[in-house]
Structure 1
Amino acid sequence: MSANRKTQQIPLAQLVPGMFVVELDIPWMQSPFFKHSRMIASGHDINKLRSAGVKLVTIDLERGSAPQQVASEPVSAVTETQPLNASELQAPTQTHDLSPGFKKELAIALRLRSEVKDTVRSINEKLERNLPVDGEAMAPLVDKTLESLQRNEQALQTLAHLTGKAQKLVDHAFGSFCLCLNLAAVTGLAKEEMHALGVAALLHDSGWMQLPLHLMGKRSDYTAAERSLAQSHVELGLRMLDSANIDALSRRIIAEHHEMNDGSGYPKQLKGDQIHPASHILTVVNTYDEWVHHLNDKPGMLPTKALRVLYMHAEKGRFALPCVASLISMLGVYPVTTAVRLNTGEKAVVEEINPNSHLTPIIRIEYDSNSRPLRSALRVDLSMESANERSITGVLDPSSPDDDPARRLVATVPG
């Protein structure tokens, strides 16, 4: 017990509903919950902790029940072998079709993607020809995107992760636009700020049009001259937008989208509160999308690794930690399109995230336990699996012939 006797560490087997957990013995990234601090509401919460590998928890004795207060209650419900509520937790294996809401929104999101990309192409053409760009004309596009995200955010999240390589600037603008607005909504950014952020996300890399595009996604480290050239895209873009009808906040966000929370960014080495909250969002999203789609001079990363590295940097102060934590909570530890290996040996692709349990998404199984491609893919909701059945044990690389010999794990639009 702590010196002030307000907390106590107990084995998971002693945890019961009514206790308030403040610390776990696993890293935050492995937690089944967004926050370690949580009132235990049911046996379902305890089962999630057990599935995540938790052995010890620290409880707050003032905010929840203490062990002596519940000692008279049966504890067999939270032993390692028996869940609290068999009807709730021991659901049989269930296949899971794409939810109707997701299917319907995906069709809308596909049309919206075409509209966003057409808009970006049109803007880029105007900028190249020194024609005026009207930021206010983008407002309806921002509103449509926010409405789609409100109905089912995972449709646009899926498409943002499916961007290709043929048109790097357009694809990057689309992915950044969707994820920025999604994150802005999650973090409670004001409506006017969301609109400014949406415009900035569409325009933030305009300066790249005046640079050699082979530098975007270069297969080797930048030379000093190349790095200086690549970093000049911020100032070049702002100059190109001098005659554009965009508001001051959008311009500021564009100017700050490579500034880092610890002052290590560019071009002005701003830090902390010197950077607008919306700029922090674009910085985090821009970095994530660049890493996942290999848009700088470093090797591309799988989404799960990109989130992990972002979080490590945020803990050291490079990125705004609340922003990164919200992105992870939004996308899940295993973002949509992630290829995963199960404890059964099966291989699958993440298709939908369970908002209340980011370690147990809805997956599409493509390979059996012997790594043989299935004749027909099997969709399974891992949150409906018992603790002894399917669970994710690792992430796979679809570009590796060893991981995906039949090319079944490559991300595609779900159908």
Structure 2
Amino acid sequence: MANRPITIDQLQTGMFVVKLDVAWFRSPFFRHSFLIRTTEQIDKLRRAGVKRLQIDPARGLDLSDRPAAPLPPPPGSLAHLAKTPTEGRTEVRSLAMMAEELQAARAARDQLQRSVQSTFSRIAETGAVDSEDAKHRVHEISAVAQTLTTHALFIALSQGRNEHEPLSQHALATCSFSMILAHAAAYDLLSILDLATGALLHDIGLLQTPAAILRRVAATSAILSEQEQKTYEGHARAGAIMLERQGGFTPVVEQIVAEHHAYLNGTGFPAETRGAFTSPMTRIVMVADRYDELLTGFGGASPLTPHQSLQRLYQEGQDGRYDVSLISLFVKTMGIYPVYSFVELTTGERAIVSVINTKKLHQPIITVTHDPVGEPYVVPLVLDLANQDAQAPARGIRSVLGTVPEGFERAAP
């Protein structure tokens, strides 16, 4: 039987999708052929802008068939272990679905890194910033952010970072983290796009800084000479001047680029910019910028995990350099133990953080995957650490082992 073209309004659970009418990076799924098991999948396709698609009636329901009830989870899914979702409860996704979302986020990250790198290469070659090109990149990043889960995108951009990466990767990560924080702070879409443009270009002045100075700043804790320090600190002003001369950028974007090192406690640079008067959007970029620096080990420090970076960021916020309320919002949004964190429990078991508990950040919902001797459970256990069975052994998080272990995608049922 041939594939059948349908509209998104005709799509229903039980149908097997084989083709979508959107570009790969707009799709919320890693593959473009899959069985529709839940109405949540249909909602994701709508949000991604899918209007027309093709189904394979030989592998699922056809238009003439009756609508199917939500299908049971695939073999190995954790959905059957969770209670039926009710109002006010969070549905726990299976490891298989989490793995698919993370794969999609990683694929999108890789493509975005190539796109942003091409933009930065042109800037380095020409010495000019094309405002339309920059806006196009921001819209591409925004499209991806809207179709992926926030936690999958956050982890995909947080994993495997180091100080030897090109500037474009730091720009992409800072832009994406800034968008996540701005969305949590309830900024409107147009403001977020302006903020994202400033975040993407915040370090553009470094393209005019001698490479030897950049290497010393990024990879070592060695003290720069007075002249070297002055040259490095000039990148914020140089970037803002570059955008102003080029034209096509809003004052908000130029302000972010100029102010992103003017810390709230009066330290930082440029010297004439007082941190107390920095814009709210600049403060968001400061937090995202510093979080990414902690991930990569900027300044000769050891790279940190997302959990460690959020902890350190919160500690640094206490000295008045950054806006503490924004750091608290960032931590509340991403969690003390971010989704996809691989943790060791007080029982010796190992688990993956599945859902953030915004009211009790230390007690997320987890999926227990390994017993105390490291053997994988045949059926992983979904457990709400804030609402445990009194008859079962009490569990808590003892330590963070890192983010999801190697082979997570293959191991997930």
TM-score tier by shorter-chain length is 0.5 to 0.7
> CA-to-partner distance for each residue in 1:347-401, whole Å, 9 max, x for gaps?
344355345553333546565323x354879464435643654643333455xxx
1:214 corresponding residue in structure 2: 215
Partner Cα distance (1:297, 1:229) in 2:
19
Whether 2:109 is the aligned partner of 1:113: answer yes
1:135 corresponding residue in structure 2: 131
Partner Cα distance (2:195, 2:92) in 1:
39
1:204 corresponding residue in structure 2: 202
1:257/1:283 contact within 8 Å kept: yes
How many corresponding residue pairs?
315
Partner Cα distance (1:174, 1:306) in 2:
18
Whether 2:157 is the aligned partner of 1:157: answer no
Whether 2:396 is the aligned partner of 1:392: answer yes
1:173 corresponding residue in structure 2: 171
DSSP-derived class of the 1:188 partner: coil
Partner Cα distance (1:260, 1:357) in 2:
30
2:369/2:381 contact within 8 Å kept: no
Whether 2:291 is the aligned partner of 1:323: answer no
Partner Cα distance (2:176, 2:126) in 1:
27
Whether 2:186 is the aligned partner of 1:188: answer yes
Query: Are the structure 2 counterparts of residues 366 and 107 from structure 1 closer, same or farther at C-alpha, using a change threshold of 3 Å?
Result: closer
Per-residue deviation, 1:206: 2.3
Q: Of residues 384, 388, 401 in structure 2, which corresponds to 1:382? A: 384
TM-score normalised per structure 1: 0.64
Query: Are the structure 2 counterparts of residues 329 and 125 from structure 1 closer, same or farther at C-alpha, using a change threshold of 3 Å?
Result: same
Q: Of residues 210, 233, 236 in structure 1, which corresponds to 2:235? A: 233
Query: Are the structure 2 counterparts of residues 245 and 286 from structure 1 closer, same or farther at C-alpha, using a change threshold of 3 Å?
Result: same
Pick which of 143-152 and 281-290 moved more. 143-152
| Identity among equivalent pairs (%) | 23
Partner Cα distance (2:304, 2:107) in 1:
28
DSSP-derived class of the 1:129 partner: helix
2:206/2:235 contact within 8 Å kept: yes
Query: Are the structure 2 counterparts of residues 345 and 176 from structure 1 closer, same or farther at C-alpha, using a change threshold of 3 Å?
Result: same
Structure 2 gap segments, 5+ residues each = 1-82, 86-90
Structure 1 gap segments, 5+ residues each = 1-85, 89-93, 399-406
2:372 corresponding residue in structure 1: 369
Whether 2:267 is the aligned partner of 1:264: answer yes
2:95 corresponding residue in structure 1: 98
Per-residue deviation, 1:329: 0.8
2:294/2:303 contact within 8 Å kept: yes
Query: Are the structure 2 counterparts of residues 95 and 320 from structure 1 closer, same or farther at C-alpha, using a change threshold of 3 Å?
Result: closer
TM-score normalised per structure 2: 0.64
1:338/1:350 contact within 8 Å kept: yes
DSSP-derived class of the 2:326 partner: helix
Q: CA-atom RMSD, angstroms?
A: 3.7
Q: What letter is aligned with 1:133?
A: V
